[in-house]
Amino acid sequence: MTDPQMRSDFPRNVAPRWFAWKDGLAENGFRFNLDYFSLGQWSNSNLGEGQAGGGIARLYGSWQATELGSLTFKIENRHAYGAVAPQFFGLDGGALSITGTAFNDNGTMLTNLFWTQRAHSGSWTFQVGQIDVTDFLDVYGLVSPYTGFQNLAFNTNPTINAPNQGLGIAGGAKLGQNFYAVASVADANADPTSPNFDVFSHGNLFKSLEFGYTSGFDRLYFDNIHLTFWHADAADDGSRAEDYGATFSAAWFIDNEWMPFVRAGKSKGTAALYESSVSVGLGYYGRSTDLAGIGLNWAEANGIPGSQRTLEAFYRFSISQGLQITPSIQFIDNPLLNPGQSSITLLGLRARVVF
């Protein structure tokens, strides 16, 4: 239910003392990593800035405090390089689209600080604290904007009004050999730049419930078919209306190389990006850590006539053990916020270095 990439890939012969120190901490149950992401995007839109850039620095890890209990933490700094952060670049150019998910200008944030308790039998897991519901809500193997697709249409379903990281409770349980359930209750008004632990008294909550099927619980992120139901309360100050919806996702890892997926969602209310969305696509895991992906999305928005279609293709490859580069292209047909342009093409280049 957290970021699965906890292993540092940075070449160990570069800083052997650093890694020896980290290994010593890991032997005592404390593991951590540092990484940095950079994303540049350029578009041919006749509106907006025409280019955007931003970066994310992360310190994250976990402490195995007991045999069945652990503390997970993540601190991030998200920043834009110029006038527009990539997360809002599509909107800036007239597309109703989040083209650079997570690459915003929110500054320093506490995105994880939660306790995990597991059953000795492995039949259930429970988390409480500062959580990110998108770590476990409607996930599949290509969900991460750090390693896979950049457009929200192919990350956490864009019909879900998922809250920012904040105080919450989440749990998962096995329902037999292949079925499972995951549920959460979290702060719908969360602000990770200013964590608030007085949450459940005001009643502005986000709730979710998911039922799924997997080929085996060691392949939960790879072979997965599920239904997700969610509901978000209206904000007391009127800034957000009540909304709710349901999503469906099916993805399967074939021969440990190919991952076809079909994902759809429907929502009622005004806060989610789309009211209706259908995505299909394919991922290919090549040599070492290489990954290619292509996705197609159709979406409709509440109160805006017409539909918008999005295509994204990317290829992630490793320059070295600790450096990954991901060029990408996004094509948005009938951008809903720019009726004067029939389509927008957007090029992207993402880099990640891990320490």
The domain that holds 329 is classified in CATH as 2.40.160.10
- Region of 269 please: left (phi>0), alpha (psi -120 to 50) or beta: left
Q: What confidence category does residue 168 fall into, taking pLDDT thresholds of 50, 70 and 90?
A: very high
Does some domain include residue 11? no
Does some domain include residue 2? no
Q: What is the DSSP letter of 177?
A: S
The dihedral formed by the CA atoms of 42, 46, 47 and 50, expressed in degrees to the nearest 10: 20
Is the pLDDT reported for residue 302 higher than 90? no
Does some domain include residue 68? yes
Sequence-distant (6+) residues with CB within 8 A of 34 are 57, 58, 59, 354, 355
Is the pLDDT reported for residue 4 higher than 50? no
Counted domains in the chain: 1
Is the pLDDT reported for residue 27 higher than 60? yes
Arithmetic mean of pLDDT, 153-163: 95
pLDDT of 21 reads 86
- Please tell me the distance from the alpha carbon of residue 355 to that of residue 58, in angstroms, as a whole number: 10
Does some domain include residue 3? no
Enter the tokens of residue 24: 């010593």
- Please tell me the distance from the alpha carbon of residue 72 to that of residue 66, in angstroms, as a whole number: 13
Which amino acid appears at position 307 of this protein?
Answer: S
Q: What confidence category does residue 153 fall into, taking pLDDT thresholds of 50, 70 and 90?
A: very high
Pinpoint the alpha helices (H) of 184-312: none
Q: What is the pLDDT of residues 223-266, one digit of tens each?
A: 999 999 999 998 887 778 889 999 999 999 999 999 999 999 99
Does some domain include residue 6? no
- Please tell me the distance from the alpha carbon of residue 187 to that of residue 168, in angstroms, as a whole number: 6
Residue numbers of the domain that contains 284 = 16-354
Does some domain include residue 7? no
Q: What is the DSSP letter of 18?
A: H
Return the residue matching tokens 């540049």: 40
Instruction: State the chain's maximal CA–CA distance in angstroms.
Output: 60
Task: Give φ, ψ of 327 to 5 degrees.
Answer: -75, 150
Contact present, 294 and 279 (Cβ < 8 Å):
no
| Averaged confidence pLDDT in the chain | 92
pLDDT of 94 reads 97
pLDDT of 15 reads 63
Highest mean pLDDT among 195-204, 279-288, 290-299: 290-299
Is the pLDDT reported for residue 3 higher than 60? no
High-pLDDT (> 90) share of the chain, %: 80
CA angle 277, 283, 285 (to 5 degrees): 160
Does some domain include residue 5? no
Within a 10 A sphere around the Cβ of 254, how many other Cβ atoms? 11
Enter the tokens of residue 160: 């879900």
Does some domain include residue 217? yes
Q: What is the DSSP letter of 235?
A: P
- The DSSP result for 57-115, as a single string, is EEEEEEE--SSSEEEEEEEEEEEESSSS-GGGHHHHTT-SS-SSTT----EEEEEEEEE
Is the pLDDT reported for residue 346 higher than 90? yes
